[in-house]
Structure formats: structure tokens, C-alpha cells
Amino acid sequence: MARFFKPKRRRPNSGPNKNQQKVLRREQESRSGGSLQERFPGVEALSLELNFISAQNEPYDRIERRIGPKDPCDFSAPCPGRCGDGQFDLEQVVRSMVQDKRETAEEHLVCRETVYGDQTKTCDFRLTCRVTLRYPPV
């Protein structure tokens, strides 16, 4: 008499395992570039004043960030608008300030991501940012 063999069911891959997650975290940390002192050795401290303005020209939020020499660097800010995944990146502003040895700069950025659910409209949230660098005394 023939026996009936039931094949084993395999679970679908639910995501990265613990070791893969550790590797992903290390890659993300290496991309962020580490501390302020490691990325910009000539800078002692950095402060960011972020003012978000809605598409209707109304103040939405105000955030202040102070980054010391040992603090990790993150020069991006997520857009709080209707797009859902917009980013404001200020790294190029900071890099140009360090190259030109400037202490303050103001930047105005507009989110051009499409609005969630409607691909014909853009988010139009604005960011007015004031960046202040502090250099060691000479």
C-alpha cells in the first residue's frame, strides 16, 4: 500500500533576521557619517532653527536643534505636510558654509513631493532655516 506524504509548509520570509538587522543598522550609521567632529573637524558646534510654513502661508512648527562635537549629525528634516514622505536636506548648506568659513546662513526650501492620494498636486510646505556654526577661537 502506498503511503501519503504531506509536503512541509514553508513560512514566507517575514523580513530580515537579527543578524541582517544588525548589518543594516551599521550601514545606516556609517552613512550618517558619525559625529560633528568626525565630519567637520573645524566646527565646534552647530545650531539649526527650523520654521515650517504650510502651503496656506501659516506658521506650522518651529524646531531648534543644537549639535555638539560628539553628537551624531543629522541635517535632514521630515516634511510635516500632506505628502507623507518628503524630506528637507540641509547637508549641502552646511558643507558650503564650512568651505567658505561662514558663521550663519539662511535657507528657504519648498517640498515638491506629490500629495498622498493625488499625483497632480504638490505638497508646497516650506522650510525657512537658519544655520549657525561656531568655530574654535583662533
> 49-88, pLDDT tens digit by residue?
999 999 899 999 999 999 888 888 888 888 888 887 888 9
CA gap 83, 14 in Å, rounded? 28
So what's the pLDDT on residue 31?
A: 57
Cell numbers 568651505 correspond to 99
So what's the pLDDT on residue 30?
A: 58
**Structural domain boundaries of the chain?**
42-132
So what's the pLDDT on residue 61?
A: 92
User: What letter would DSSP give residue 72?
Assistant: B
pTM equals 0.70
User: What letter would DSSP give residue 81?
Assistant: S
Which residues make Cβ contacts (< 8 Å) with residue 18, sequence separation at least 6? none
Confidence of residue 35 (pLDDT cuts 50, 70, 90): confident
Across 91-104, average pLDDT = 91
CA gap 68, 46 in Å, rounded? 7
* Residue 45 contacts residue 69 (beta carbons within 8 Å): yes
CA gap 97, 105 in Å, rounded? 8
Nearest alpha-carbon partner for 65 in 47, 87, 89:
47
